[in-house]
Amino acid sequence: MIEQKLEQLAEYQAQMQLAEIDKQTLIDAVLTPEIKQKLADIDAEFSDKYDAVMENIANLTDEIKKEVVSHGATVKSAHLMAVYSKGRISWDTKILDGLAIVFPKLNEARKEGEPSVSIRKVG
């Protein structure tokens, strides 16, 4: 049953992709070669501007993150907030499960979250 639903979901996704292709085909049909060239020129004109700004964003974001980690607390401005999260503690479950056989009291500290599902493409 789940396999059938996954196949139906894949079919819906394929229908959406086909609709997007059909839409773009119709858009391309009404665009004259001159308009297409003008759009390409506009894209080229803004490409360098976008690249420069994206590089500035990446560099400043990295700088902010490093400073917030050093600061050790969330920092909020008028428009953005850099949320500080302490490092997560993790445990080697295989080792602890083995130790729990010898020390059953360890099982009292064990918590198991709810399972989750993510849907991904095959291959």
Give the model's pLDDT for residue 16.
98
Give the model's pLDDT for residue 64.
96
Give the model's pLDDT for residue 13.
96
Confirm whether pTM is higher than 0.75: no
DSSP 84: -
Q: Within a 13 Å sphere around the CA of 18, how many CA atoms are in the beta-carbon half?
A: 6
Q: Quick check: is 35 in a domain?
A: yes
Q: Quick check: is 117 in a domain?
A: no
Q: How far is the CA of 27 from the CAs of 13, 36, 64, 65, 104, in angstroms? A: 21, 11, 42, 42, 67
Parent domain of 62: 31-84
Q: Quick check: is 39 in a domain?
A: yes
Q: Quick check: is 22 in a domain?
A: no
Q: Which amino acid is at 71?
A: H
Q: What is the pLDDT of residues 41-98, one digit of tens each?
A: 999 999 999 999 999 999 999 999 999 999 999 999 999 999 999 998 888 999 999 9
Distance (Å, whole) CA 57 – CA 65: 12
b vs e for 66-75, b when ≥16 Cβ sit within 10 Å of the residue's Cβ?
eebeeeeeee
- Residue 84: closest CA among 92, 98, 73, 70: 73
Q: What is the pLDDT of residues 4-37, one digit of tens each?
A: 999 999 999 999 999 999 999 999 999 999 999 9
Q: Within a 13 Å sphere around the CA of 109, how many CA atoms are in the beta-carbon half?
A: 10
What's the total number of domains in the chain? 1
Report percent pLDDT > 70 for the chain: 100
Give the model's pLDDT for residue 72.
94
